[in-house]
Amino acid sequence: MKRRELFRISTAMGVGAALPALALAKAQPPGGPAPAAPLKPPAQGSIPVAFLLSDNAVMIDFGGPWEVFCNVSVPGRGEGPVFQPYTVGATEAPITTYGGMKIVPSYSIANAPAPKVIVVPAQTVSDPAVLEWLREASRHADLTMSVCTGAFILAHAGLLDGKSAATYHGAFKEFAMRFPRVALKRGARFVEEGNIATAGGLSSGIDLALRVVERYFGRAVASNTAYAMEYQGLGWQDPLSNSIYAKARRSSDLQPLCPVCDMDVDKATAVSSTYRKRTYYFCMEAHKKLFEANPASYT
């Protein structure tokens, strides 16, 4: 699987029906709701963090936040971890990550402890029971967060209806068309609304996790966590720091872009399709099929 296919792997829930017109779901400019309220940690004990994993889970999407939560130290809080991360799968059978690593989930959705934070990375979800677990667990959690195209999973579960969201920049067009009830925020490193937070692609999840630490324990604890990790990024302090992706790239004859995901393509080897006497080139066959199903939305 190629890196550019990341944003497709969260859409395996049988939602390939005709997409609504893009005009019904224009992406919104950066900005949005007021800063999220602080989260209240328990007086003692660890904060349980469930990482929902299935096949093709993207490692940096969950590995980055996992490291953040494992490196938090709060002076005067006593012994034991501040956050207690654990993995949850549809079953306890091994899953294969994007890239080939096999992971055995610590729990299944049938026996997982109730989480206070839920992390949903980009991955392939094919079991409706997983969405039901996610909906129910989110009702009782302090926060449910997605990374990259994990936002597709939250949207499929109905958790983003009427809210703003961020996702991987290569998935902007498809996300906007599939979920017209969600206000897509181009250029957002992460978006927070109530007990839901969504991060942009890949490394954005590290920043959102640091922001979660800040919401629980303050900026000094989050800064110390970043320092301990030798993480120099400051995106967790600025939710709009993905502004480079706010403006869509433009395709040209010299450097064509896939009209579905805006990725660079090679005319010599790319699959193509003609619409209204113009030839469009695609990074993969699947994107050609999406385009041909509703070309007006992409042009």
The fold of 3-22+35-245 is: Rossmann fold (3.40.50)
Domain boundaries, the chain: 3-22+35-245, 249-293
**Residue-level pLDDT at 20:** 39
Q: Is pTM, for the whole model, over 0.85?
A: yes
pLDDT score recorded for residue 299: 80
- Walk along the chain (299 residues) and give the pLDDT tens digit of each residue: 455 555 555 544 444 333 433 333 344 444 445 679 999 999 999 999 999 999 999 999 999 999 999 999 999 998 889 999 999 999 999 999 999 999 999 999 999 999 999 999 999 998 999 999 999 999 999 999 999 999 999 999 999 999 999 999 999 999 998 999 999 999 999 999 999 999 999 999 999 999 999 999 999 999 999 999 999 999 999 999 999 999 888 889 889 999 988 889 998 999 999 999 999 999 999 999 988 998 888 88
Cα radius of gyration rounded to whole Å, the chain:
19
Sign of the C-alpha dihedral, residues 122, 30, 253, 23? positive
Measure CA 238 to chain center. Answer: 17
Task: Tell me if 111 sits within 8 A of 133, measured CB to CB.
Answer: no
Q: Tell me the sheet residues that pair with 279.
A: 274
